[in-house]
Amino acid sequence: MPSLGIRRKAPSRYGVVLALALLPLLPALSALADSGSGVRILYPPSRSALPDGPVRMIVAAPLSLRLSGTLDGRPLTLSRLAFADTWQTPGRLKVTDALIGDRSAAALWVASISLAPGNHTVVVGGQRLELCRPKGQAPAGWTDFYAHRLTTNAKLDCSGCHEITDGALGSAHTPDACAGCHDEGSVQLIHRHVSEPLGNCAMCHDPHGTSRPKMLQDTKEKLCSRCHEAGHSKG
């Protein structure tokens, strides 16, 4: 066949060098692309120092997305829960509203994580989570994570607090959801407060875990000032 006179230009030396330089960055670039998929790790935050025993990891993702994950390169078991119609009202889950967005189009994926001492890596939905279980205090740059311990049954079961019907996550009615472990007398004694305003436990606590002892969402002074004048605190 006669030549058409078209000459293909060989890749420039600089182009080849640039391509080789980008090869080590491909995993990071891939993770950045996946981060636009709407996957959000809600609990625990990255660089958390976890206590001994299992802790819940909770991930939000678009309803249509199927997630898989690994812990230190090994498959991680994830359970999927959509939001029940009764749990889709905006503002019902204020701590995570901004991350989850429209709950009618979102699902939660939950795993039970129990770590040996040392550093660990979880990857789920393109998101990377750095965790550790220290033998003593949390290392510099890491934050202790405080959360409810799971039941003696190692299988994660959110139904201990939430209504769950046909794989759909319903509300956790407080204080009833908490009363099984925290009786009214003890709650009043610990908080040094009459019980009625304490009924909305999630007003001050995040039962899924926080970086503050007692799973407080903020400092006691700031939490008390939501109802009282600034500076009021029972200690």
pLDDT in tens, 105-143: 999 999 999 899 999 999 999 999 999 999 889 999 999
Residue 212 has pLDDT above 80, yes or no: yes
- Kindly tell me the burial class for residue 59, based on how many C-beta atoms sit within 10 Å of its own C-beta (0-12, 13-18, 19 or more): buried
pLDDT value of residue 233? 53
- Asked if 70 and 158 count as a contact pair (C-beta separation under 8 A), the reply is no
- Asked if 207 and 148 count as a contact pair (C-beta separation under 8 A), the reply is yes
Q: Which residues in 150-189 are b (16+ Cβ under 10 Å) and which e?
A: beeeeebebeebbbeeeebbbbbebeebbeeeeeeeebee
Average pLDDT over residues 203-229: 88
Q: What digits encode the pLDDT tens for the residues 38-75?
A: 899 999 999 999 988 888 999 999 999 999 999 999 99
pLDDT value of residue 33? 38
pLDDT value of residue 192? 80
pLDDT value of residue 3? 46
- All domains in the chain, ordered by first residue: 36-166 (2.60.40.10), 173-235 (no CATH)
**Per-residue confidence at 232, pLDDT binned at 50, 70, 90?**
low
Closest C-alpha to 135, from 106, 115, 155: 115
pLDDT value of residue 166? 85
- Asked if 102 and 108 count as a contact pair (C-beta separation under 8 A), the reply is no
Strand partners, 168: 82, 165
